[in-house]
Amino acid sequence: MGFDGPYADTFERMQEMMGDLVPEFELREKAELVVQINRLKKERKALILGHNYMEPALFHTVADVTGDSLELCRQAARTDAEILVFCGVEFMAETAKIINPTRTVLIPSQKAGCSLASSITAADVRELKRRYPGVPVVTYINSYADVKAETDICCTSGNAVAVVESLGTDSVIFIPDEYLAANVARETGKHVIFPETDPRKIQAPSTVIDKVFVGWHGKCEVHEKFTTEDIARVRLQFPDVVVLAHPECSPEVTAAADFTGSTSAMIKYVDKVNAPHYLLLTECAMGDNIIAAHKDRDILRLCSVRCPHMQQITLQDTLAALQLLRYKVDVPADIIVKAKRAIDRMLAIG
């Protein structure tokens, strides 16, 4: 295939934007894939949704809409495209399917899991509800559909405080992220307890719990790696650095950071607040995406920290998804009905 016409134009645009991040031979290969994806996307009338953790070539050139989990959820609820290609992990693509049961939702790889989503099962949630009857269940969007189906309301990192406050109750079951629970509990004046898992010590159902989050020991395998020592080391070298942490980081890390927010909240912060350096405590690809869009920003990040699940989504597999209409996301109809209630309640909160 000759390297002219649309390939050359696309390559030039990509070179200008991300030439300092991606080697030239790789950009040439990627430019060809981008042109093919964008052509086929039009033919199929498909919409590509890209999470903020997608690699820069995919994020900046083929995704029609980008954002954090909440923004992508809202976009998925608004679209009238017949085919949605979800460039993100499985729980996100499942959420898009729950919101759009009649449309085709594709995910480019079947290996894009999530350590938080796989930390809890629907049976676990049923057991929590049995032990704490009447206590509302708030489930982080990073969970699978059958878990959402057992839930009163979902939340994301972008609206967790608002969701908890909307309930107006003293106690909530907040699952499955231990650290997000601790961070949101701190902001809403509560503390976190964990249910006893030793069957010999399990007590009868309890109704006397006060101002607590009943939590779960799920963790993000990426954000749990950041430590307060990391922050101290970077501050030593760059005393004027602004530290931004995702709320899936430990409460010690978020307390030591200057700002805590969802992936999009971090992007907006860098956009609006001028600082000499920024340290992003989150998945590394997002730093690349910000650098590609803002050449004037000095983004520091600890780049040994990648999400092995998000990384599964490549341009090659996105093209194959459109060519072969694979991999279709399917969720059983009864689960869709119940899980959709929990997502719709969340979306109803501004």
Binding site for ligand SF4 (CB under 6 A): 89, 114-116, 142, 220-222, 248, 283, 307, 309-310
How far apart are CB 100 and ligand 13P at their closest, in Å? 19
Residue type, 5: G
The one among 14, 63, 220, 291 contacting ligand 13P by CB under 6 A = 220
CB nearer ligand SF4, residue 58 or residue 81: 58
Site for ligand 13P in 226-255 (CB under 6 A): 246, 248
How far apart are CB 133 and ligand SF4 at their closest, in Å? 30
Q: Which does 221 bind (CB under 5 to 8 A by kind): ligand SF4, ligand 13P, none?
A: ligand SF4
Q: Which does 98 bind (CB under 5 to 8 A by kind): ligand SF4, ligand 13P, none?
A: none
Does 262 bind ligand 13P (CB under 6 A)? Our answer is: yes
Site for ligand 13P in 290-349 (CB under 6 A): none
Please give the radius of gyration of the chain, using alpha carbons only, rounded to the nearest integer.
21
Q: Which does 71 bind (CB under 5 to 8 A by kind): ligand 13P, ligand SF4, none?
A: none
The one among 55, 63, 68, 97 contacting ligand 13P by CB under 6 A = 68
The one among 10, 61, 66, 69 contacting ligand 13P by CB under 6 A = 69
Q: Which does 90 bind (CB under 5 to 8 A by kind): ligand SF4, ligand 13P, none?
A: none
How far apart are CB 308 and ligand SF4 at their closest, in Å? 8
Tokens of 17: 């934007």
- Write the DSSP string, 27-45: HHHHHHHHHHHHHHHHHTT
Q: Using alpha carbons only, give the angle 230, 234, 225 rounded to the nearest 5 degrees.
A: 20
- Binding-residue total with ligand 13P (CB under 6 A): 12
The one among 75, 156, 250, 318 contacting ligand 13P by CB under 6 A = 156
Neighbouring C-alpha atoms within 13 Å toward the C-beta of 95: 35
Alpha-carbon span 8 to 292, nearest angstrom? 19
Quick check: 292 and 21 in contact, CB under 8 A? yes
Quick check: 177 and 219 in contact, CB under 8 A? yes
Which candidate, 209, 181, 211, 206, places its Cα nearest to that of 129?
206
User: Taking CB under 6 A as the rule, which mask of x and - marks residues 107-146 in contact with ligand 13P?
Assistant: -----------------------------------x----
Quick check: 153 and 173 in contact, CB under 8 A? no
Q: How does strand 299-301 pair with strand 277-281?
A: parallel
How far apart are CB 53 and ligand SF4 at their closest, in Å? 7
Q: Which does 279 bind (CB under 5 to 8 A by kind): ligand SF4, ligand 13P, none?
A: none
Does 157 bind ligand 13P (CB under 6 A)? Our answer is: yes
Quick check: 57 and 319 in contact, CB under 8 A? no
Q: At 231, give phi and psi (nearest 5°).
A: -65, -45
Which candidate, 187, 114, 117, 108, places its Cα nearest to that of 145?
117
Quick check: 295 and 71 in contact, CB under 8 A? no
Tokens of 298: 């000095």
Which spans of this chain sit near ligand 13P (rule: CB under 6 A)?
Answer: 52, 68-69, 142, 156-158, 220, 246, 248, 262-263
